[in-house]
Structure 1
Amino acid sequence: MQSADQTETSITAAAGKNNPQPLAARKQVLIVDDEQELLASIQAGLANHPRFRVLTAASGGEALGIIDSGIFDLAVIDLNMPEMDGLQLLAALSESFPEIPSIVMTGFGSPAMRQELRQAGALKVLDKPLDIETLEREITRALEDRSGCRCRLPLEIFLQLAAMEHKTIHLKVFRQDGRQGSFFFREGMLIDAEQDGLTGDSAALAMLDWQDFTLGLKEYSPPFPEPRINSRLAYLLLRTRCRLDQYGGGSACFDRAREELRRLRQEADGAEHGCP
């Protein structure tokens, strides 16, 4: 992808007369966080970096406006922001700007969940608070390693981030063929799913196969219904490590989830009929 800075000419003096050499074009990096002091500190600390230029946005909406007016090589996004939060911004970027890879920053979620997201390699996760040196190092790595970038994030990543951030949300999923469905989270727990005539576990598994979707997020308010997602199945669906198969084009993780669903239904049927 051509960097916006390639339109900018920067010349350094060379040893020989009349032999100027252009400096390598700097990449464009957008930092999105609602903490103004943090943005000012990051911008000051990285202002003269030779490899990339930092721009900042204080909200998801502002970030989309900036990205829409320029060419960017990387977005670094805080997940916990008011109004349009980081999850919504990631959904918008994945749909409209899939060529832009992302790093997320979070002070929430369990260490195990964050570690699994890191190991999956689908999305880089940085713990807050973070120092300038760590941020600079991770930005540099992300800009250098574009070969493995999976910028259009799969649906399960959004589910995992909702769980990690303890979200209470109604996540709507829309396909281009007109089908749609919903996932319901209460404080990070996946408690229900709906898709056409399916509910609960069956609906969740059906939608995880979907590609080329758009997302809508809204607040999920009480009163909450009784969960229709089995807790063991939800744990399996939200585990990032097993999603590695999906990125390679395989279906091992989905097969495991479906097998678990069949086993749980057999257990329930056995209990209903008094089987030991």
Structure 2
Amino acid sequence: MTASSPSRPVPSHQAATRTLLVVEDDRATLSLYRAGLKGLEGFKVLTAPDGSEAMALLRQEPVHVLVTDLNMPVMDGFNLITKVSRLYPHIPIIVMTGLDENQHLNTPLDLGAVRILSKPIRLGFLMDAIRTAVQAEPVGVIRGLSLGSILQLLAWEKKSCTLTVQSEAGMGLLYLNRGEVIHAAFRDQEGFPAVYEILTWNHPDIEFVETCRVERTIDTPLTELLLNVAIINDSLGPDPDSGPEAGMGPDPSAVRSGI
């Protein structure tokens, strides 16, 4: 097993607006990518030595493109692609592999990858593929509406989709099946704690893809979720930083737990 390499951003000549995550277990190859991808302007580059550490990074911050090897310890690329395409369907996945087509049988494409590149890969070619993947990212953007209003519209249309919700607090994910919120994730939180955290954010940026592949963990109807959020906001009072003592509503921790 290759020793873990610490993940760190690669500096760029212009401010990074997007994040690239490169997953590769070979330390020398990973170092090569880390140095060579400095020329990918506008990107912060994160690295992970296996799929398990990649998933941990994905839970902590937004990633716009994922580049991964297939043969890795702990969690291989096939399992990583399966998990990312289910939990983060908005992230385009590029596979880089030394396996020939007879060995991988284009399975990564069936699992959700957008492209397979054969090793060794010229860095210029890889950077072009990354830029293309970002440009082709099938994401819708919603502006000018509150998150509650957007959820009500999606409920009326009975949409199944995944919402990426970005605020000063971080990035959260809401998963909808036929207009109802069935799962949520924010950092290490899932289910009810995550959904109530996300729904209390003010003026978030929202993107979506029209797919939902997760299992249901939330059975509460949307109308009840939004009512509970109103109770939470009332209990927090006009200043969310002042804590629950500022308002006269019920204890938000009881509502956040789904009780």
**Which TM-score band applies after superposition, normalised by the shorter structure?**
0.3 to 0.5
Alignment TM-score, normalising by the size of structure 1: 0.42
Alignment TM-score, normalising by the size of structure 2: 0.44
Q: Rg bigger for which structure? A: 1
